[in-house]
Amino acid sequence: MPERPITHLRHVDIAVQDYEKQVAFYEEKWGLTKVGTDGDVTYFAAEGSPEQYVIRVRRSQDKRLDLVSYGAADRATVDALATRLARDGVKLVGGPDTLQTPGGGYGFRFFDVEGRTIEISTEVAARTHRKVEEREDIPVRLSHVVLNSPEPERLQAFYEKYLDFRLTDTNVHPKLGGIMWFMRCNPQHHSMAIARCPHVSLHHASFEMRGLDEYMRGSGRLMRDGVHKVWGPGRHRAGDNTFTYFHDPNGNTMEYTTELETLDEDTWHPHLYSTDDPETSDQWGTSNPMNDFVSREMFNDPDRGLFIAPPV
């Protein structure tokens, strides 16, 4: 198995109660491209990404994070990961097999230590994509996903042990201790982060824009359209990326970002960034202040799909 078995984040899949509004939001406001639907499941691609889709929406009575999908180096890596997880008692949804989702490929699904469904795949066919042009304020690709956890240190240890995610930086509160752990599977500052929260849920999914101008144009367009802005625009310290967070029609938080830091992993050492310093949250000082109200807006509803595999 390669030293780094996981190559990148592929897609994030959600289930929602108000399905039609969610589908319309991604297509008409967020700037994604609908690439397939069967009436109860819709797939969305980002124009600049070779992934078949970056987010999937499923109609459901229960709001949940259906799964998070990661790419693996090759079939041998997929098989080795499945064998290791099963040997250690991690529950697999099914063994490695041909995937029945757009683009095919080879992979398997399992439950992480808190019950989320995680997919590992390889050999998924690339989608024909294009260069996102100057001033085109649509997502280029899926950037990262952040997970809410009541036991973040335990979740961090699980991803480090089994998927070889590595800690990049940590945001620390003077009274609570660690509140955000930034984890990487490649030189990108983070493909996943873990946020301390009272319950298991999706914190947010983040989408990379072409550049600063496109990021600001997209953020402004959504604000003018009346989409509920949670926090931003600003620039974080950890990752040095820009941020504007919005609520989708079902109360999930979605982020526009750009310029996420790429690391020299041979020389990188994790930092502890204190939230006492306002530049930890926003180096520019342009966003609304990060406070308990903003934090609670990103707690989301408790996930109703833990240790239950999605039907698709």
- DSSP string spanning the chain? --SS-EEEEEEEEEEESSHHHHHHIIIIII--EEEEE-SSEEEEE-TT--SS-SEEEEE-SS-EEEEEEEEES-HHHHHHHHHHHHHTTPPEEEEEEE--STT--EEEEEE-TTS-EEEEEE-PPPPP--PPPTT--S--EEEEEEEEESSHHHHHHHHHHHH--EEEEEEEETTTEEEEEEEESSSBS-SEEEEE-SS-EEEEEEEE-SSHHHHHHHHHHHHHTT--EEEEEEE-STT--EEEEEE-TTS-EEEEE----B--TTT---EEEETTSHHHH-SSS-SPPP-HHHHHHTT-SPPS-TT-----
Is a pLDDT exceeding 60 seen at residue 262?
yes
163-219 pLDDT, tens digit each: 999 999 999 999 899 999 999 999 999 999 999 999 999 999 999 999 999 999 999
Which of the four pLDDT bands, split at 50, 70 and 90, describes residue 272?
A: very high
Give 57's pLDDT tier (boundaries 50, 70, 90): very high
Residue 247 has pLDDT above 90, yes or no: yes
pLDDT in tens, 205-221: 999 999 999 999 999 99
Confidence of residue 8 (pLDDT cuts 50, 70, 90): very high
Residue 1: what pLDDT?
Answer: 56
Residue-level pLDDT at 115:
98
The whole-angstrom separation of Cα 47 and Cα 110 is 29
| Over residues 243-249, mean pLDDT | 98
pTM of this structure: 0.97
Residue-level pLDDT at 4: 86
Over the stretch 82-105, which tens digit does the pLDDT of each residue have?
999 999 999 999 999 999 999 999
Confidence check: pLDDT of 3 > 80: no
- CA angle, residues 36, 37, 38, in degrees to nearest 5: 140
Q: What average pLDDT does this structure show over 232-256?
A: 98
Residue 158 confidence (pLDDT) above 60: yes
One-letter amino acid at 135 equals R
